[in-house]
Amino acid sequence: MRISQKCYFPATKIILEQIERSRKGGKPFKVSFSFSGTFLDQCEKWNPDLLELFKQIAETGSAELISQTYYHSLACLNNRDESEFIEQVEMQKQTIADLFSYTPETFENTECIYNNNVAKVAESLGFKTVITEGVERILGWRSPNYVYRAKGSSINLLLRNYRLSDDIGFRFTSTLWDQWPLTADKYVTWLAHTSGQLVTVFLDYETFGEHFWTESGIFEFLRWLQIESLKWDNLCWSTPKEVVQKYAPCDTIDVPPENTISWADIERDLSAWLGNPQQAISFDLLNEVGLIIKELNEPNLLRVWRYLQTSDHFHYMCTKGGGSGIVHNIFNPYGGPVEAFKTYMKILLDLWARCLMESSKPESEYRRLLRRVPPSKGFRFFLRAGSPTDVLAISLEDLYKAIKKVNVNSIIFHLSRGDFERWISEVIGDENLAAKISSLPEKLRDDGENVKKTLLNILEERLKELKELGKLS
């Protein structure tokens, strides 16, 4: 509530005022917001008026909503369960659709963490653009002020101009800076004299009012940005969606996983979250516990585990010194990295113990059979050998829905090879269901519509039984 009053409400009201003011004449003022699902949850529970304010901005048509991971997590770095990253991004896309009736086309991974694999996942989920950091080591001689394409995919890349972004986000109140004080007219002049197609200014929203208090002049700076931009004919405000529609990519950016970038600290890599042994141990155990929780398929444990994936937990464990260390410690609620590590591990070990207790309950076995498996272990439907379809089942529920819609020839093909019972037995682990399908008469297996109906009845009965035994609604 404190941050809402200090930052979110005043900053958002100013942005809405400037959008409405600019619509009366001059250049339209445009912005983009990247929300996490947990932030939107908090708005719904504790501050619905704030959520309503964001909805008002979205309804103006002058704001683009950018998607990220639901839990603002490090899920993209979980090598044990690559499906978790996809699930969290899909959750967030759905949340934005539900709350704002909006389908995001731009993706910004947690803390701008990016590599070629992130781009491929984003593209596979329907995004057209990714925003990340304009780091020199990926740019070489090139400028961040152009549209690029990710290597190995056709998705667009917009690169944050970290110098101009950090002039606001980090240096705004620094009296040691030779450009202090930073005023809106000075900043807009810099923008106007910056070469390239665009300038991506991407900030932590809490810059306004929380990192820099009202007394610093940060809100007046925000208020006057739009007004000062009117003085320059070569400046206009645009959303990421508009930029990639206007400009074609000029080159390709290659960021292999071993060279993953982010917007954090001087290094702009993963060291802010995984740079010391405490962070590595915590993250490794977190992912190990996740495998157990996914097997248990217990919603409450899954939710707690996902909260523990939030990047902030690992950020607080950072032991860097210098300027980066100050940033890590200034908002650390634990007072330091050691206490942050101890507290986190106590909670994580408690969660692990609860998982072991849960696994001893009879109903946990039935819930396990209803779990979703990673896409790499899913059941891919084929029409015939060498002819895959786009239908993939990753749970018994999915299998039921898929059989409802696939061509009967695909069903006959898989039955003739024993594929259904093999997947149900070896991947899902339901020997009873596998045996039931395996015992279907040969005569029935060639009767398309009848065998489809029979399979659906068998699956429907088993799903109902498992949900009752597993005490799932």
* Burial of 145 from C-beta contacts in 10 A (0-12 / 13-18 / 19+): middle
Among the listed residues 115, 131, 127, the one whose alpha carbon sits nearest the alpha carbon of residue 154:
127
- Dihedral, 43, 113, 313, 202 alpha carbons, nearest 10: -50
Among the listed residues 203, 180, 205, 167, the one whose alpha carbon sits nearest the alpha carbon of residue 6:
205
Place of tokens 């849960």: 358
Residues 219, 224: Cα–Cα separation, whole Å: 9
Share of the chain above pLDDT 70, in %: 97
**pLDDT classification of 328: cutoffs 50, 70, 90:** low
The confidence score (pLDDT) of residue 355 equals 93
User: How many CB atoms sit inside 10 A of residue 196's CB?
Assistant: 15
Cβ neighbours for 373, distance < 8 A, ≥ 6 positions apart = 83, 394, 395, 427, 428
**Mean pLDDT calculated for residue range 360-368:** 85
Token pair, residue 195, equals: 């070469």
- CA 329 vs CA 209, 314, 320, 321, 326: distances in Å: 19, 12, 10, 10, 5
Residues 358, 292: Cα–Cα separation, whole Å: 10
The confidence score (pLDDT) of residue 310 equals 98
Residue 291: half-sphere exposure toward Cβ, Cα within 13 Å: 10
Mean pLDDT of the chain: 94
Has residue 272 got a pLDDT over 50? yes
User: How many CB atoms sit inside 10 A of residue 363's CB?
Assistant: 15
Least confident segment among 70-84, 225-239, 356-370:
356-370
Question: Which amino acid, residue 355?
Answer: C
Q: What is the CA radius of gyration of the chain?
A: 26
**pLDDT classification of 331: cutoffs 50, 70, 90:** confident
Residues 124, 112: Cα–Cα separation, whole Å: 18
**Cis peptide preceding 441, ω within 30 of 0:** no
Has residue 473 got a pLDDT over 60? no
Has residue 367 got a pLDDT over 90? no
Instruction: Give catalytic residue positions.
Output: 111
Residues 454, 448: Cα–Cα separation, whole Å: 10
Strand (E) or helix (H) holding 31: strand 31-34
CB burial string 32-68: b at 16+ within 10 A, e below? bbbbbbbbbebbeeebeebbebbeebbebebbbbbbb
The confidence score (pLDDT) of residue 364 equals 86
The confidence score (pLDDT) of residue 323 equals 62
Cβ neighbours for 339, distance < 8 A, ≥ 6 positions apart = none
Residues 41, 403: Cα–Cα separation, whole Å: 35
Share of the chain above pLDDT 90, in %: 86
User: How many CB atoms sit inside 10 A of residue 203's CB?
Assistant: 14
Among the listed residues 353, 343, 346, 344, the one whose alpha carbon sits nearest the alpha carbon of residue 292:
353
The three-state secondary structure class of 106 is strand
Token pair, residue 458, equals: 């068998």
In contact, 274 and 280? CB cutoff 8 Å: yes
